[in-house]
Structure 1
Amino acid sequence: MIMTDSLSETALSKEQVTEFLISNPEFLVSHPHILNQIKIPHHLPGSVSLVERQAEQLREKVKILQKQLTELLNVAKQNERIYRIYADLNLRLFKCRTLVEVEQSLSDVLLHQLELDEISLKLFGSENDLPETSKHHLLKKRFHDRIYYLGRLSHAEMAMLFDKKNIGSVAMMLLGEQGEMGLLAIGSHQPHHFHPGMDTLLITQLQQFLTLIIPQLAEF
Structure 2
Amino acid sequence: MTASALPPITEDDIAEYLANSPGFFERHAELLASVVINSPHGQRAVSLHERQAELLREKIKVLEHRVMDMVRYGGENAAIARKIHDWSRQLAAARNAGELPAMVQASIAQDFDVPQVALRLWGVADAYTGAAFTQGVSEDLRSFAASLTMPFCGPNLGFEATGWLAQAAQAQSLALLPLRRGAIEDTDSPAFGLLVLASHDAKRFDATMGTDFLTHMAELAGSALSRLL
Question: Is the Cα–Cα contact under 8 Å of residues 158 and 167 in structure 1 kept in the other structure?
Answer: no
Aligned residue among 64, 68, 71 for 1:70: 68
1:97 matched to 2:101? The reply is no
Which residue number in structure 1 is paired with residue 216 of structure 2?
205
Counterpart residue number, 1:26: none
Q: Choose from 150, 153, 156 the match for 1:153.
A: 156
What does residue 131 of structure 1 align with?
Answer: 136
Residue 46 of structure 2 corresponds to which residue in structure 1? Answer: 48
Q: Does 1:176 align with 2:174?
A: no
Q: How far 1:43 moved relative to its partner?
A: 6.2
> Displacement of 1:90 after TM fit?
0.6
* Residue 206 of structure 1: how far off its partner (Å): 2.6
Contact 2:180 2:222 in 1 (8 A): yes
Residue type matched to 1:112 in 2? Q
Counterpart-to-counterpart distance in 2, 1:60 and 1:92 = 48
**Which residue of 2 is the match for residue 167 of structure 1?**
171
Runs (4+) of structure 1 moved beyond 6 Å? Answer: none
Shift of 1:201: 2.9
| CA shift digits 1:57-76 (9 cap, x unpaired) | 21111111111211121111
Q: Which residue of 2 aligns with 1:190?
A: 201
2:198 aligned partner, one-letter code: G
Deviations 1:10-51 (A, max 9, x none): xxx9xxx9xxxxxxxxxxxxxxxxxxxx8765469x973221
Unaligned runs of 5+ in 1: 6-12, 18-37
CA-CA distance at 1:211 after TM superposition: 2.9
Q: Does the C-alpha gap of structure 1 residues 55 and 106 become closer, same or farther in structure 2, counting only changes over 3 Å?
A: same
Is contact 1:142-1:149 (8 Å) kept? no
- 2:184 corresponding residue in structure 1: none
SS of equivalent residue, structure 2 residue 176: strand
Letter paired with 1:172: L
Give the secondary structure class of the aligned counterpart of 1:155. Answer: coil
Deviations along 1:162-195, whole A, 9 cap, x unmatched? 0112112222223233344322111122223224
| Structure 2: gaps (5+ residues) | 4-8, 12-24, 36-43, 182-188
Q: 1:215 to 1:143 in 2, by over 3 A?
A: closer
Cα offsets for 1:106-148 (capped at 9, x unmatched): 423x22332211111212253222434xx22234456535364
Distance, in Å, in 1 between the alignment partners of 2:223 and 2:161 is 27
Q: How does the TM-score come out when normalised to structure 1? A: 0.67
Residues paired across the two proteins, number: 183
Higher helix share: 1
User: Do the aligned partners of residues 176 and 113 (structure 1) sit closer, same or farther apart at CA in structure 2, a change above 3 Å counting?
Assistant: closer
Cα RMSD (Å): 3.4
Contact 1:96 1:102 survives alignment (8 Å): no
**Cross-structure match for 2:118:** 120
Distance 1:77 1:192 in 2: 21
The separation in 2 between residues aligned to 1:47 and 1:64, in whole angstroms, is 24
Change in 2 beyond 3 A, CA 1:103/1:187 = same
Q: Specify the structure having the higher radius of gyration (Cα).
A: 1
Amino acid at match of 2:218: Q
